[in-house]
C-alpha cells in the first residue's frame, strides 16, 4: 500500500512536542571566560543608514549588541581600516536587497579575512536584509535563542543526531524517513509528489531547522532530483508549493527557524526582491540561513555545514558551524590539500556562500549523539584542547549524502583573542592556532584508547 502525504503529516502532528530546555553549554567553552561582552560592529552604506525605514534596523542592532556603526559610501571594502581598528567579534552588514548582490557577498567574505595577516576569517559576519525593511527589522529585533528540536528536509541527513524530524528523499521516489523523540529513524513509503507534504511540514510541523538540496534557481527549488516532483516557488515575497498537477500550496511558517540549503544552486543569490532567499525570510520564519550565490558544483562550503552543525549536535551555534567549515576550507587551501581539481573547487567555494541574519543570534541543535568528546579549558595562561574518541569509528564520516562529505578538522573557538602562542604539547598533531580558534586535522586512524591533546601558552589581546 502506498502511503499518501496525509498519514505522514498526521504521524508528525501526533508526535509529542519537545519539552523546552536550555541549550547545552558548548563543549568548546573554556573554563576561563572574559568579563566583557563580545565586540560587535554594524556596517552599512550611508545611503541605507539615512533611509527612514532602514535606519531602525541599524538602531535595533546597536541597542541589542552595544554595537559600533561603520558607514561606507560606495564599496564595502572602504570599511577595512575601521574594521581593523575595531576588530569586532561579530560584524553585521545591513543591506537593502538591491545592495545584497553576489558581488557584495564575495566582497564581504573577502573583507572579513583581511583584518590581520593570517588568511582565516577574522570576524563572524552576517548580512542582514529582508524582503522589506520591516522584515529585516523583525529579524534584527528577534532575541530569543533557538534550540533545534524538530528538523525537516528535502534530502537525506543524519537524522539520528537529531531529537526528532523527517526527510523526503530527492533521489529515491516515495522514500521518507522519520524519527520520533527517543526513537530510531524509520522508513515509510511516501507520496509520488511530496509538494503538499513538505508544505504541510513547514506550516504545521513547525521545524526549527529546514534542510534542502537539489536543483534550484533564484525563483524555485525542485523537490525531486532524480525523479519528477513538484517545486517550491516564490512571488511577492512569499513561498508556495506547486505540485505536478499544477495545484498551488501556500506556505506560511512563521515560527523562528534556520535554513540550510546545503546543495542548492543560487538559493542565496539576491538578484531582485522577488527571490527565494528573501521569501524564506519573509514567509517562512527564517532568521539565519546560508546559500550559494552561484551554481554549485563542488559543494564543500555548503554540505560541510552539516558536519559541524547537525552531526555535532549542541557543540556549535549555526553561526559558528558555518564559520568552522569556512576555516576548514581555508586550511585545506593553505595546506595545499588534494589534487588540482580539489584546490580549484575549494577556491571556487571560498567566497560564493552567503550567511544571512544577525551573526550573534544563537541557534543550536538540541544536545544529541556525539561521535567524540571535545573540550577546551584555560588556567593560568595555559590552554588545553582535548579530543576523546568513543570508539574506533569516532573520526569517520557520519553521513555521506551530498558532496565533499569527508570529515572536517576538529575546531574550537576562543572566547577572547590570543597572542604569543607557544605550543608545549601536541605539536605532532600540527595544530593551527590563530588569535580566535584552534584547528586540528583529524588523524587518519582513530585510537579509541587515546586522548588527543594540544596544550599551549598564550596571552589575551587587551
Cβ neighbors of 334 (< 8 A, separation 6 or more) are: 119
List, in sequence order, every residue forming a beta bridge with 418; answer none if it has no partner.
460
DSSP 181: T
- pLDDT reported for residue 338: 82
**In terms of Cα–Cα distance, which of 298, 306, 51 is closest to 162?**
306
Residues 290 and 234 in one domain: yes
Separation between Cα atoms, residue 14 and residue 205, nearest integer Å: 10
Q: Which of 318, 338, 370 is the endpoint of a domain? A: 370
Q: Is the Cβ–Cβ distance between 429 and 452 less than 8 Å?
A: yes
d(CA 257, CA 285): 6
User: What is the per-residue pLDDT across 110-151, written as a single tens digit (0 to 9) for each?
Assistant: 999 999 999 999 999 999 999 999 999 999 999 999 999 999
- Phi and psi at 449, nearest 5°, equal -90, -5
316 and 436 both lie in a single domain: no
Quote the Cα angle for 234-238-239, to 5°: 55
Residues 236 and 328 in one domain: yes
pLDDT tens per residue across span 413-427: 999 999 999 999 999
Number of domains in the chain: 2
Among the candidates 350, 370, 390, a domain finishes at 370
In sequence order, what are the beta bridge partners of 242? 231, 248
Q: Tell me the three cell numbers of residue 315.
A: 557543540
Rounded to whole angstroms, the Cα distance separating 156 from 166 reads 9
Considering the domain architecture, whether residues 28 and 55 belong to the same structural domain is answered as yes
Q: What is the DSSP string of 187-199?
A: EEE--S--HHHHH
How many Å apart are CA 191 and CA 194, to the nearest integer?
6
Do 379 and 316 belong to one domain? Answer: no
Q: Tell whether 135 and 175 lie within a shared domain.
A: yes
Rg value, the chain, Cα: 22
* Domain shared by 194 and 54, yes or no: yes
Sign of the alpha-carbon torsion through 306, 308, 309, 314: positive
Q: Kindly report the backbone phi and psi dihedral angles of residue 69, in degrees, each rounded to the nearest multiple of 5, phi listed first.
A: -100, 130
Euclidean distance between CA atoms 283 and 288, whole angstroms: 13
Residue 32 confidence (pLDDT): 32
In angstroms, rounded to a whole number, what is the distance separating the alpha carbons of residues 200 and 193? 13
Angstrom CA distances, 254 to 8, 35, 168, 275, 284, stand at: 22, 36, 22, 18, 5
Residue 151, CB half-sphere, CA atoms under 13 Å: how many? 34
pLDDT at 20: 43
Cα within 13 Å of Cα(247), Cβ side: 9
Assess contact for 257 and 144: CB atoms under 8 A. no
Does residue 230 share a domain with residue 193?
Answer: yes
- Which residues constitute the domain of residue 431? 372-460
Does 408 lie in the same domain as 309? Answer: no
What pLDDT is recorded for position 336?
Answer: 85
Residue 261 and residue 400 in one domain: no
Q: What is the pLDDT of residue 9?
A: 57
Shared domain for 216 and 122, answered yes or no, is: yes
Residues 350, 354: Cα–Cα separation, whole Å: 10
Best CA proximity match to 142, nearest among 342, 287, 19, 16: 287
| 422 in the same domain as 349 | no
Count Cα neighbours of 219 within 13 Å in the Cβ-side half-sphere.
4
- Among 336, 370, 404, identify where a domain stops: 370
User: What is the H or E stretch that residue 175 is in?
Assistant: strand 175-179
Residues whose CB falls within 8 Å of the CB of residue 96, separated by 6 or more in sequence, listed in order: 48, 51, 54, 129, 133
Distances in whole angstroms, Cα of residue 347 to Cα of each of 239, 268, 330: 32, 18, 8
In this structure, the strands spanning 363-365 and 146-148 are: parallel
Mean pLDDT by runs of 10 across the 462 residues of the chain is: 46 50 42 49 98 98 97 97 96 98 98 97 98 98 98 98 97 97 95 97 97 98 97 98 98 97 98 97 98 97 98 98 98 91 96 98 97 97 97 97 97 95 97 98 96 97 80
Amino acid at each position: 500500500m502506498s502511503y499518501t502525504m496525509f498519514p505522514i503529516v498526521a504521524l508528525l502532528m501526533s508526535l509529542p512536542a519537545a519539552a523546552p530546555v536550555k541549550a547545552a553549554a558548548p563543549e568548546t567553552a573554556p573554563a576561563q571566560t572574559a568579563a566583557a561582552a563580545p565586540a560587535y560592529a554594524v556596517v552599512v552604506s550611508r545611503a541605507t543608514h539615512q533611509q527612514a525605514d532602514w535606519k531602525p534596523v541599524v538602531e535595533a542592532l546597536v541597542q541589542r549588541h552595544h554595537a559600533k556603526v561603520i558607514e561606507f559610501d560606495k564599496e564595502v571594502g572602504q570599511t577595512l581600516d575601521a574594521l581593523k581598528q575595531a576588530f569586532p567579534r561579530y560584524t553585521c552588514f545591513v543591506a537593502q536587497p538591491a545592495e545584497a548582490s553576489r558581488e557584495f557577498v564575495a566582497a564581504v567574505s573577502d573583507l572579513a579575512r583581511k583584518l590581520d595577516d593570517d588568511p582565516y576569517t577574522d570576524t563572524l559576519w552576517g548580512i542582514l536584509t529582508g524582503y522589506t525593511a520591516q522584515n529585516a527589522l523583525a529579524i534584527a529585533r528577534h532575541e530569543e535563542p533557538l534550540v533545534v528540536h524538530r528538523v525537516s528536509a528535502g534530502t537525506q541527513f543524519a537524522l539520528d543526531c537529531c531529537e526528532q524530524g523527517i526527510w523526503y528523499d530527492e533521489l529515491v521516489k516515495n522514500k521518507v524517513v522519520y524519527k520520533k523523540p527517543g526513537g530510531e529513524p524509520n522508513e515509510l513509503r511516501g507520496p509520488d509528489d511530496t509538494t503538499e507534504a513538505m508544505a504541510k511540514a513547514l506550516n504545521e510541523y513547525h521545524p526549527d531547522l529546514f534542510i534542502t538540496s537539489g536543483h534550484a534557481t533564484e525563483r524555485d527549488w525542485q523537490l525531486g532530483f532524480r525523479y519528477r516532483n513538484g517545486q517550491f516557488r516564490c512571488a511577492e515575497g512569499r513561498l508556495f508549493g506547486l505540485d505536478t498537477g499544477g495545484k498551488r500550496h501556500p506556505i506560511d511558517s512563521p515560527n523562528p527557524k534556520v535554513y540550510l540549503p546545503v546543495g542548492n544552486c543560487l538559493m542565496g543569490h539576491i538578484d531582485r526582491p522577488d527571490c527565494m532567499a528573501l521569501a524564506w525570510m519573509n514567509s517562512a520564519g527564517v532568521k539565519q540561513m546560508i546559500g550559494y550565490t552561484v551554481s554549485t558544483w563542488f559543494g564543500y562550503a555548503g554540505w560541510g555545514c552539516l558536519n559541524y552543525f547537525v552531526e555535532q549536535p549542541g557543540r556549535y551555534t549555526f553561526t559558528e558551524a558555518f564559520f568552522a567549515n569556512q576555516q576548514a576550507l581555508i586550511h585545506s587551501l593553505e595546506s595545499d590539500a588534494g589534487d588540482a581539481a580539489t584546490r580549484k573547487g575549494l577556491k571556487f567555494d571560498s567566497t560564493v556562500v552567503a550567511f544571512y541574519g544577525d551573526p550573534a543570534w544563537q541557534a543550536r541543535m538540541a544536545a544529541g549523539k556525539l561521535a567524540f568528546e571535545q573540550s577546551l579549558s584555560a588556567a593560568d595562561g595555559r590552554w588545553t584542547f582535548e579530543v576523546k574518541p568513543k570508539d574506533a569509528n569516532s573520526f569517520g564520516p557520519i553521513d555521506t549524502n551530498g558532496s565533499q562529505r569527508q570529515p572536517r578538522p576538529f575546531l574550537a573557538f576562543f572566547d577572547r583573542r590570543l597572542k604569543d602562542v607557544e605550543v608545549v604539547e601536541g605539536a605532532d598533531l600540527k595544530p593551527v592556532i590563530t588569535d580566535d580558534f584552534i584547528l586540528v586535522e583529524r588523524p587518519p586512524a582513530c585510537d579509541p584508547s587515546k586522548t588527543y591533546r594540544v596544550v599551549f601558552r598564550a596571552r589575551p589581546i587587551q
